[in-house]
């Protein structure tokens, strides 16, 4: 295993120095920048579309071409593993979590994930299940990752950053695509997508079905997911558009709930959405609906998660004077949930917000962006989130940025309203057995919780030097009032034999201070051949779940017919809590690991125009490793991690 890791590490390091072997760079020209036009303009880092290198935050863009050639990528989070500062934890086959700049958790609720600007987080705990998102790979136009606090734009949960999955417009699809993929462990993926625009009317519709088995038990299912999604839009004029869209995902998958155990989630998620834009004004309404049951999760009495989220937003941009744009907005959100693990009444959260952003460009060299948002939560009260950034362009291809901001996370419905009695057998690790044969633990939420708050400062440089593009960022942050489950206190012993009763409650406790650096380079060696490499360093006090070092590197080849993609990831060791919730923390090491991924594809011409076939491999060398801690007993469950192995698949698609 160590030999395999070292080979991949050496490969990644070799790729990282490859850009340094480039020929001497000529003076900057518009021709040079054209090598990297895919970065174009981003919409997630501010209210106005800007070039990525001029955004008021660190923005990384994954293009549709990147997605098409991504080696071994079969899940959405596979696409962002190569982004500096992004941590992807695959706790089980086809179930994982994504965090940005540390603070890793098996159930991460500090990163906001959106589909075309609409949140896909489940209000139950503020997390996302990536397999529920009603979108197919071939429908994605790009993914924008904004690192750092962005509550000034998007409110709660944008503490670490935002991941916005942006889909293609019907006119971009310009027809249909049918995809079929099959591989090891009974992996199957089938999808159909069609979109077009006729006159002022545009529409698209897609359907997906997928299944896969587990790594550790390859004959047992890990997931079965079916999706359907559609959009219809109409242009009433050059600046007036209305659209209606919806999606439905029928899901059955194994979920890892960290130290709480694993369960089989069965049910559906759905959404309805309508958008209206006119002359710089935007209005949006959406309704997210979840009806999920967690079976085989006896520790939590097989809970159900029935929730509804209603969200309405308004936004208007005005030109104050040349070079100055002001954007004002407001919104209202209502989350409701009904679950057996909560008190009998229907629980709810009501939130409203007011926001503003001002962008001023006094010259081609300088840009100043100031944003602020005021949020109100029915339990935690007011939260104010300011953000400011200054961007200086030394040349059209080199920018320096300094930015600062704050963000917050509201307590989830679980953290506010949980009321659960959990009965577990006593394995003798913490209490003698006999006389105590069972542990009856009461886990409670609290309506007195404060919001988590983060304060961040960042400096960055982005440059294009001929065929070489570089990015570097250094940052520091302080996270305060972290919401955690308290240590258990014993409420009944001798009088309750053979059981012992304990109680734990969610509270605000402690802080985490982090600082880190990200650096990366992309080299366009020729029009057909590119390479990339990046490295991330991160140190977080009081948080051992985040790797201190990470490195990624790869090579891409595309000539119009043949495509080949080859990349590697290396992740440093981490430490996770072995004990169950409420028990005293016991850290245990999860070792470093490295994975090698590859994909090759071929586009046919002539009579077979539109047909493409490919083969992909995830973890090509089968480096069997854990990414979170496996359990050892009922009282020491770790994060119930599953060993991760290799996965191979062949695919074929047809565009018409």
Query: Per-residue pLDDT for 27 more than 50?
Result: no
Query: Per-residue pLDDT for 14 more than 50?
Result: no
What Cα–Cα distance (Å) separates residue 635 from each residue in 216, 239, 257, 549?
22, 60, 15, 31
Range with lowest mean pLDDT among 358-362, 383-387, 489-493: 489-493
Task: Calculate mean pLDDT across residues 543-564.
Answer: 92
Task: Calculate mean pLDDT across residues 358-379.
Answer: 95
Task: Provide Rg for the chain, Cα atoms.
Answer: 25
User: What confidence score (pLDDT) does residue 302 get?
Assistant: 67
Q: Domain 2-655 in CATH: superfamily?
A: TonB-dependent receptor, beta-barrel domain (2.40.170.20)
User: What confidence score (pLDDT) does residue 318 get?
Assistant: 93
Task: Calculate mean pLDDT across residues 452-466.
Answer: 96
Residue that wins the pLDDT comparison between 438 and 592: 592
Cα distance between residue 654 and residue 649, in whole Å: 17
User: What confidence score (pLDDT) does residue 45 get?
Assistant: 85
CB distance 180 to 647 below 8 Å: no
Task: Calculate mean pLDDT across residues 611-618.
Answer: 93
CB distance 418 to 342 below 8 Å: yes
User: What confidence score (pLDDT) does residue 429 get?
Assistant: 65
User: What confidence score (pLDDT) does residue 258 get?
Assistant: 65
3-state secondary structure (DSSP) of residue 156: coil
User: What confidence score (pLDDT) does residue 24 get?
Assistant: 38
Return the structure tokens found at 446: 């609290």
What Cα–Cα distance (Å) separates residue 26 from each residue in 16, 23, 94, 152, 466?
22, 9, 46, 40, 6
Query: Per-residue pLDDT for 234 more than 90?
Result: yes
User: What confidence score (pLDDT) does residue 42 get?
Assistant: 81
Cα distance between residue 93 and residue 645, in whole Å: 9
Cα distance between residue 34 and residue 42, in whole Å: 17
What Cα–Cα distance (Å) separates residue 423 from each residue in 65, 128, 301, 501, 578?
51, 28, 9, 9, 19
Task: Calculate mean pLDDT across residues 229-254.
Answer: 94
Cα distance between residue 458 and residue 646, in whole Å: 38
Query: Per-residue pLDDT for 415 more than 50?
Result: yes
CB distance 497 to 435 below 8 Å: yes
Q: Angle at CA 428, nearest 5°, toward 427 and 434?
A: 105
Task: Calculate mean pLDDT across residues 103-120.
Answer: 90
Burial track 268-291 (b if 16+ CB lie within 10 A, e otherwise): bbbbebebbbeeeebebebebebe
Mean pLDDT (the chain) is 87
User: What confidence score (pLDDT) does residue 413 get?
Assistant: 86
How large a percentage of the chain has pLDDT more than 90?
A: 57
How large a percentage of the chain has pLDDT more than 70?
A: 89
Give the other-Cβ count within 10 Å of 427's Cβ: 14
HSE-CB at 544 with a 13 A cutoff on CA atoms is 15
User: What confidence score (pLDDT) does residue 497 get?
Assistant: 79
Please report which confidence band the pLDDT of residue 346 belongs to, taking 50, 70 and 90 as the band edges.
low
Please report which confidence band the pLDDT of residue 487 belongs to, taking 50, 70 and 90 as the band edges.
confident
User: β-strand 161-167 against 175-183: which pairing, if any?
Assistant: unpaired
pLDDT in tens, 53-108: 889 999 999 988 888 776 556 778 888 999 999 999 888 777 888 999 998 887 88
Query: Per-residue pLDDT for 173 more than 70?
Result: yes
Range with lowest mean pLDDT among 197-206, 292-301, 475-484, 495-504: 292-301
Task: Calculate mean pLDDT across residues 341-363.
Answer: 86
User: What confidence score (pLDDT) does residue 37 get?
Assistant: 52
Range with lowest mean pLDDT among 104-108, 155-159, 492-496, 550-554: 492-496
User: What confidence score (pLDDT) does residue 499 get?
Assistant: 80
Residue that wins the pLDDT comparison between 301 and 45: 45
User: What confidence score (pLDDT) does residue 70 get?
Assistant: 67
């Amino acid at each position: 295993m160590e030999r395999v890791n070292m080979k991949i590490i050496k490969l990644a390091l070799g790729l990282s120095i490859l850009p340094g072997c480039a020929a001497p760079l000529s003076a900057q020209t518009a021709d040079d920048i054209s090598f990297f036009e895919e970065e174009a303009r981003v919409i997630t880092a501010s209210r106005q579309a800007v070039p990525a290198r001029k955004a008021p935050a660190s923005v990384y863009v994954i293009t549709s071409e990147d997605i098409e050639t991504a080696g071994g990528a079969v899940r959405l989070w596979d696409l962002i593993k190569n982004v500096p500062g992004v941590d992807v934890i695959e706790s089980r086959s086809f179930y994982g979590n994504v965090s940005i700049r540390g603070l890793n958790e098996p159930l991460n609720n500090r990163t906001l994930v959106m589909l075309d600007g609409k949140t896909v987080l489940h209000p139950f705990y503020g997390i996302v299940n990536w397999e529920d998102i009603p979108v197919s790979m071939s429908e994605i136009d790009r993914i924008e990752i904004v690192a750092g606090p962005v509550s000034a734009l998007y409110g709660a949960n944008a503490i670490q950053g935002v991941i916005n999955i942006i889909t293609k417009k019907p006119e971009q699809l310009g027809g249909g695509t049918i995809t079929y993929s099959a591989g090891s462990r009974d992996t199957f993926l089938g999808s159909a997508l069609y979109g077009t625009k006729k006159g002022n009317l545009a529409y698209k519709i897609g359907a997906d079905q997928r299944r896969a088995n587990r790594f550790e038990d390859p004959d047992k299912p890990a997931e079965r997911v079916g999706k359907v999604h559609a959009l219809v839009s109409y242009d009433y004029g050059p600046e007036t558009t209305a659209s209606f869209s919806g999606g439905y995902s029928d899901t059955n998958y194994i979920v890892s709930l960290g130290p709480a155990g694993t369960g089989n989630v069965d049910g559906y998620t759905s959404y309805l959405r309508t958008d209206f834009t006119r002359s710089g004004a935007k209005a949006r309404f959406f309704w997210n609906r979840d009806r999920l049951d967690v079976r085989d999760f006896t520790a939590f009495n097989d809970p159900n998660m029935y929730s509804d989220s209603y969200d309405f937003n308004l936004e208007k941009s005005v030109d104050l004077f040349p070079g100055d744009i002001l954007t004002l907005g407001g919104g209202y959100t209502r989350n409701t949930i009904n679950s057996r693990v909560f008190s009998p009444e229907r629980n709810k959260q009501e939130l409203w917000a007011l926001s503003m952003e001002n962008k001023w460009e006094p010259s081609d060299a300088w840009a100043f962006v100031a944003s602020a948002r005021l949020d109100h939560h029915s339990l935690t009260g007011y939260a104010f989130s300011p953000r400011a950034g200054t961007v200086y362009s030394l040349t059209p291809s080199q920018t320096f940025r300094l930015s600062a901001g704050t963000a917050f996370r509201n307590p989830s419905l679980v953290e506010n309203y949980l009321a659960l009695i959990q009965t577990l057998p006593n394995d003798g690790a913490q209490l003698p057995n006999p006389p105590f044969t069972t542990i009856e633990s009461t886990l409670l939420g609290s309506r007195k919780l404060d919001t988590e708050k983060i304060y961040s400062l960042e400096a960055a440089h982005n440059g294009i030097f001929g065929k070489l593009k570089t990015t570097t960022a250094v940052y520091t942050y302080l996270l305060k009032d972290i919401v955690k489950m308290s240590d258990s206190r014993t409420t009944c012993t001798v009088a309750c034999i053979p059981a012992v009763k304990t109680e734990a409650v969610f509270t605000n406790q402690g802080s985490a201070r982090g600082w880190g650096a990200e650096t990366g380079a992309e080299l366009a060696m020729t029009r057909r051949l590119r390479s990339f490499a990046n490295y991330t360093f991160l140190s977080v006090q009081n948080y051992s779940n985040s790797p201190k070092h990470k490195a990624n590197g790869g090579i891409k080849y595309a000539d119009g017919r043949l495509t080949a993609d080859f990349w590697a990831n290396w992740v440093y060791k981490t430490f996770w809590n072995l004990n169950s919730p409420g028990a005293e923390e016991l850290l245990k090491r999860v070792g470093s690991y490295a994975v090698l991924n590859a994909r090759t594809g071929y586009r046919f011409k002539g009579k077979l125009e539109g047909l493409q076939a490919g083969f992909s491999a995830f973890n090509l060398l089968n480096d069997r490793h854990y990414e979170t801690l496996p359990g050892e007993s009922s009282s020491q469950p770790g994060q119930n991690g599953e060993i991760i192995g290799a996965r191979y698949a062949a695919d074929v698609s047809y565009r018409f």
